[in-house]
Structure 1
Amino acid sequence: MRGAHAGSIGVRVQSAPRRATKSPRRPAMRARALLFLLVVYATYSHAEKSKFYYMESICKDHFLQRQYRKVDGGVLWSRNERNLDCTVTFQTHSILQRFMLHFDLLQLDCNDHLYVYDGAHATAPPKADLSCRNTKQQVGALFTRSNFVTLKYVTDNWGTDANGFRLVITAVKDPKHGCKEFRCKQREFCVSADLTCDGVDHCADGSDEDTATLCPESGGTGAGSAWVAGCAGAAALVAGAAATAACCACRRRAATQRTRLHLQELASSNGGGSGAGAEAGATRLPGNPELPAGPCGAARAGRLRRAA
């Protein structure tokens, strides 16, 4: 190698192409989103209280109508939907359970009909055919023999905002099969303990919402209290996630600054190549006393000089 001095060799250090660095905000945002989803999931999984269904939403999609919905307790809403011919089926979680249905609101138009079937299909004669002649007091509580109930709702193209219904659906079990959950007072049916103090009367006698003994802190608004508690917990966790993300971002910035300072110190201590044959802007790398390796290992400066 011509023009190379014995003690040094010029090595051009080319800067690697800069990679697109991920913004520290992205992991923080992902962490917040993940924690928020976990909070929502934990809130609903801890208290799978009443599930709310709306005929307007269910009946928009034929696929949604054909699904069997497993519930411990639910509320089915209808409000002046027009030109419907919609069927929806609910199923209990256990074959030992059956359904109890009662209305909080029932006000149908005379050309609208709600058919209740004891089973998974709307084929056999209906257990009940409800229309304008029926009131919630007259209908009372309906019970299925199977662990399925199918509802078929047929309406015409006319109605008022007052038309509709609010149907409470509850999976109940006879106490002779053993009751480890909540037992209603009057009928002594066993219902899921998660349905207590949620603001919905699942026992049809008010015992699962008894503010005097069962849920005095709710004051009859257990669902609202649960929402407030859930929102407060979610806010606390989101705030904690934001603080954690900010801490991580600060540490990342500090690590980046330390790396830059280290590189600057290396560049200032090494300087440029001092050899006559060194190219302009060359830098001698630290920690490598040997010259570039040849076929027989690391080449010595003397060998290179003799070869030149």
Structure 2
Amino acid sequence: MPAPRPARGPGPGPGCRRPRLRPRLLAALLAAAALFSAAAAEKNKYYHMQQLCKNHFLQQLYRKIDGAVLQSQNERNLDCVITFQTHSILQRFMLRFDLLQLDCNDHLFIYDGAHAVGSYKSDLTCRNTESTVGAIYTRTNFVTLKYVTDGWGTDSNGFRLVITAFKDKKHACEDFRCTREFCIDTDLVCDDVNHCGDASDEAGSAVCPQSGPRTVLGLSPTMLVVAAVSALLLLAAAAAALAVCLCRRSRGRRGPLPSTPQPPPTTNTSFPYVRVERRRGERARRQAAAAAGAGKLASPCGPPARVQRGPGPPLLPGRVRSSGSDSDISSSQKDEWFV
């Protein structure tokens, strides 16, 4: 007898599927959003020395940039090395300070290469200012900064460094050409940062007649892209939560689904009775046995137990009467009933 099937519990209604945000899919969406926002905002990057000099594996990576702004303000007990690289081997770096006011025990070393080894290009300390240093140009497409500070300082100590990747005038320029005849990326133009050194790429020049940086709805392009991506992710999460809530509510109103009744097991408990006419030789042997004193063979079932034959094939061989009744047969011809 097969075991009864367990009752099915409550489930979502027809047309209602439970949405699930798989972890891999969610991670892929977040990575795509990060890459999309980075693609729109990575041309001119903003760094703070306190964050760059943290002790983690990202500190050892080469950061490819077209332009960057490094800010420092009274960082204490630092000893870190940072390397920047251009996107093209035909490019070089120009470094220019908008602010330079270091403590006398602090040093900023600038190396023309991918490592802080060998002789440095500049050693900047309290005796240097932005006007005395001017613009610093590298000969390679790498620049490495080593910043060392002590445990004392004031909030006025620090610097603001603008790093720009450029091409010399001897190379073909497909982007923006500064007045100094070198070429910078077009996305560095009109971003409120003086990348050319003579402000020919910023407001007040022929290419940027408007005053101030470009904004959309009061937001910079970078912040606008980040806000749009964040809004899309929040809308997707809200839609998934609403779908789950609606599915649960509709399932609660219907209640649990009734279990499907199973038919009782089919067991052959009723056996048809079949009347069989024996051959004359067999009847003669029985009559001889009875005459010899063996006694009359009793019927195992008897006529009262006879029922109509049900469906199914006959269980015993023999000839089955298809019509007639017991009254039509003489007593000498009646035979016993077998199951």
Q: Distance in 2 between matches of 1:276 and 1:72?
A: 82
TM-align CA RMSD: 4.3
**Deviation for aligned residue 1:84:** 2.6
Q: Distance in 1 between matches of 2:314 and 2:198?
A: 104
Q: 1:229 aligns with which of 224, 230, 234?
A: 224
CA deviations 1:108-145 (Å, max 9, x no partner) are 11222211111122233222121111111121111001
Look up the match of 2:187. Answer: 194
- Summarize the Cα distance change of 1:89–1:34 in structure 2 as closer, same or farther, 3 Å threshold: closer
**Deviation for aligned residue 1:97:** 0.7
- Summarize the Cα distance change of 1:154–1:32 in structure 2 as closer, same or farther, 3 Å threshold: closer
Residue 91 of structure 2 is aligned to residue 97 of structure 1: yes
Structure 2: which 5+ residue stretches go unaligned?
12-16, 268-309, 317-338
Q: 2:6 aligns with which of 14, 18, 28?
A: 14
Tell which has more relative contact order, 1 or 2 (C-alpha 8 A, sep 6+).
1
Q: Distance in 2 between matches of 1:29 and 1:216?
A: 48
Q: Whose helix fraction is larger, Structure 1's or Structure 2's?
A: 1
Look up the match of 1:53. Answer: 47
CA deviations 1:43-73 (Å, max 9, x no partner) are 2213423222332233331744432222111
Q: TM-score normalised to the size of structure 1?
A: 0.69
Instruction: Tell me if structure 2 keeps the 8 A contact 1:49–1:195.
Output: yes
Q: TM-score normalised to the size of structure 2?
A: 0.63
Instruction: Tell me if structure 2 keeps the 8 A contact 1:31–1:245.
Output: no
Look up the match of 2:14. Answer: none
Q: Distance in 2 between matches of 1:243 and 1:65?
A: 37
Q: Distance in 1 between matches of 2:25 and 2:211?
A: 33
Residue type of the alignment partner of 1:144:
T
Moved more, 161-170 or 214-223: 214-223
Residue type of the alignment partner of 1:160:
T
Residue 168 of structure 2 is aligned to residue 174 of structure 1: yes
Percent identity for Structure 1 against Structure 2? 51
Look up the match of 1:42. Answer: 36
Residue type of the alignment partner of 1:229:
L
- Summarize the Cα distance change of 1:255–1:17 in structure 2 as closer, same or farther, 3 Å threshold: closer
- Summarize the Cα distance change of 1:213–1:240 in structure 2 as closer, same or farther, 3 Å threshold: farther
Matches within 5 A, 1:227-266: 227-234=222-229, 236-238=231-233, 240-242=235-237, 244-245=239-240, 248-249=243-244
- Summarize the Cα distance change of 1:155–1:182 in structure 2 as closer, same or farther, 3 Å threshold: same
Larger of the two Rg values belongs to structure? 2
Look up the match of 2:303. Answer: none
Q: 2:101 aligns with which of 103, 107, 127?
A: 107
Look up the match of 1:120. Answer: 114
Residue type of the alignment partner of 2:84:
F
- Summarize the Cα distance change of 1:306–1:219 in structure 2 as closer, same or farther, 3 Å threshold: farther
- Summarize the Cα distance change of 1:190–1:259 in structure 2 as closer, same or farther, 3 Å threshold: farther
Look up the match of 2:200. Answer: 207
